[in-house]
Structure 1
């Protein structure tokens, strides 16, 4: 029986620890908090969201040869093909520690990602032949510059649909100057402007600059201000965000990316795929979880209908 082609997610798999403040934040003093631990990492989160949406998906990442690493593999394997998660004794499993205010917005985040320095071009080249048939690739910016550049070039050579999802402003600098071969770039406003190398640009100017660098479709998430997009064909647009009561913003961007991919790989336009992304992000925003534990296709379709069809945001 021929193996089904899968969406291959490449990048971070971390342990996320969240400390939510129970009183308003003040510098220079201790705070009472409620702490939780969840599986995280941009590529890993996107992969789990896609798996929960019944998409065949696999994850290429690395974790430490430690208890955190085994726990991450066990949790991820429920929804994702985890055979390509490589364990290493060279570093600890990546950790991301977020401090959230009493409204669930991030005050501070601390990332121990030394483990990704062990991933270079040769590491990627070694993994690639093992991946089997690929329907699309999702690449975050956690790995080294040469691993990222090699993956983009390989997708371009093989004409594979590629979605690049940025992780942070410093890590956008790991992307090459030539972004030809990037089918979809999902980024936030600050990261888009950093990648366009001009903080003073408007979002539309930054998107135009990114299209000139070779990206076919740019999608910029703007939190409560919604989403903007631009395509190589000259289409541009902005969509207002559904009004929801946010519990915790962590993971909402990854949920957006998964919902967007669910839409665009399912044959929807970029504009409509953005609506699926925003529906997915809205569901996650309303939970304290990094990945919504009840997410499935039915829930996403229902959210899409509620927010964008039944008199919701147009």
Structure 2
């Protein structure tokens, strides 16, 4: 196997809390359920999957000076990821809290991430960051970074592949100024509609055309358990995800998909085949209670065998 280039990820690494309702969800009422706390973040979750696929990885994020920061630091170390993050002792570590129903579907998410907006623009001008970007073979970022930080990153990473994760419909607009500099953007349908400037009734072809017009050369659009949409210079295609053998939690599926796809692309695998690996990892994430599934090579191969090949769009 050809050795993959090292990758530097810049973006979210924070506390993820997931509360799951144990019975039918009743709005505006007390619902019995369970709460668990892990370390997550779009970039960090994806990077852990990238590292598990054999790519050497480093992470630059920001966190506070609280106990949650120690938890984040330990998780990065345990994932065998080089930690280049910056600690602000007088600040609170960012967090994301998700409420999911008994079937694993998201009801609502709550993001407390003011430190990202405050710190990342200044961090992107530090010599340490310039050196880290210069040394990396590829860069992964997410829209937890403010637009000014993303623009600075795009300038620093000229001539290097830059991958991006959209994070949310509200934050994906931060990517607009640098869309032409990105190799690939991972987004769900609602995020894609924002970038494409289309409404919810748009066809897959209209979404692709809108994304291309926005300046994006290549993208991946997920749609829950519906067909996944991809496009690049060779055209547009879809992949129908296999039905999971069980549904534990869907919240980490998109990050797992992004991580495994990027890892395959860094090995030189074409997008259509790389995205099959992403779908396989996403399936394992849905079947696992953990946001980042701990899979073996055999388990991954088994999941990949269930993923159909891409169907080209006319």
CA distance in 2, matches of 1:119, 1:207: 34
Unpaired segments ≥5 residues, structure 2 = none
Name the CA shift for 1:234/1:308 in 2 (closer, same or farther; >3 Å): closer
Q: CA deviation at 1:229?
A: 1.0
Larger mean CA deviation between 212-221 and 124-133 belongs to: 124-133
Q: CA deviation at 1:14?
A: 1.2
Is 1:32 the equivalent of 2:32? yes
Counterparts in 2 of 1:39-58, with a 5 A limit? 39-58=39-58
Q: Give the corresponding residue for 1:259.
A: 260
Q: Give the corresponding residue for 2:146.
A: 144
- Three-state SS of the structure 2 residue aligned to 1:253 is helix
Match of residue 133, structure 1, among 132, 135, 138? 135
CA RMSD of aligned residues (A): 2.1
Q: Give the corresponding residue for 2:281.
A: 280
Name the CA shift for 1:282/1:170 in 2 (closer, same or farther; >3 Å): same
Q: CA deviation at 1:178?
A: 4.7
Q: Decide whether the 8 Å contact of 1:9 with 1:46 is kept in 2.
A: no
Output the TM-score relative to the length of structure 1. 0.91
Q: Decide whether the 8 Å contact of 1:73 with 1:82 is kept in 2.
A: no
Q: Decide whether the 8 Å contact of 1:50 with 1:262 is kept in 2.
A: yes
- Three-state SS of the structure 1 residue aligned to 2:167 is coil
Q: CA deviation at 1:302?
A: 2.9
CA distance in 2, matches of 1:59, 1:145: 19
- Give the count of matched residue pairs: 305
CA distance in 2, matches of 1:89, 1:301: 43
1:193-224 superposed Cα distances (whole Å, 9 cap, x missing partner): 11122225333222222223332211111110
> What stretches of structure 1 move > 3 A for 4+ residues in a row?
306-309
CA distance in 2, matches of 1:82, 1:69: 16
Q: Decide whether the 8 Å contact of 2:176 with 2:195 is kept in 1.
A: no
- Three-state SS of the structure 2 residue aligned to 1:97 is strand
CA distance in 1, matches of 2:9, 2:121: 16
Output the TM-score relative to the length of structure 2. 0.91
Q: Decide whether the 8 Å contact of 1:142 with 1:171 is kept in 2.
A: yes
Name the CA shift for 1:263/1:215 in 2 (closer, same or farther; >3 Å): same
Q: CA deviation at 1:5?
A: 4.9
CA distance in 2, matches of 1:43, 1:135: 17
Is 1:250 the equivalent of 2:276? no
Counterparts in 2 of 1:162-241, with a 5 A limit? 162-200=162-200, 201-231=202-232, 233-241=233-241
CA distance in 1, matches of 2:14, 2:65: 13
Q: Give the corresponding residue for 1:299.
A: 299
Q: CA deviation at 1:124?
A: 0.9
1:49-105 superposed Cα distances (whole Å, 9 cap, x missing partner): 112222101111001111101111111112243431111134211111111111111
Q: CA deviation at 1:107?
A: 0.9
Unpaired segments ≥5 residues, structure 1 = none
Q: Decide whether the 8 Å contact of 1:54 with 1:297 is kept in 2.
A: no
CA distance in 1, matches of 2:32, 2:281: 31
CA distance in 2, matches of 1:150, 1:242: 39
Q: Give the corresponding residue for 1:64.
A: 64
Q: Give the corresponding residue for 1:103.
A: 103
CA distance in 2, matches of 1:188, 1:260: 15
Name the CA shift for 1:177/1:198 in 2 (closer, same or farther; >3 Å): farther
Q: CA deviation at 1:6?
A: 1.6
Q: Give the corresponding residue for 2:13.
A: 13
Q: Decide whether the 8 Å contact of 1:53 with 1:296 is kept in 2.
A: no
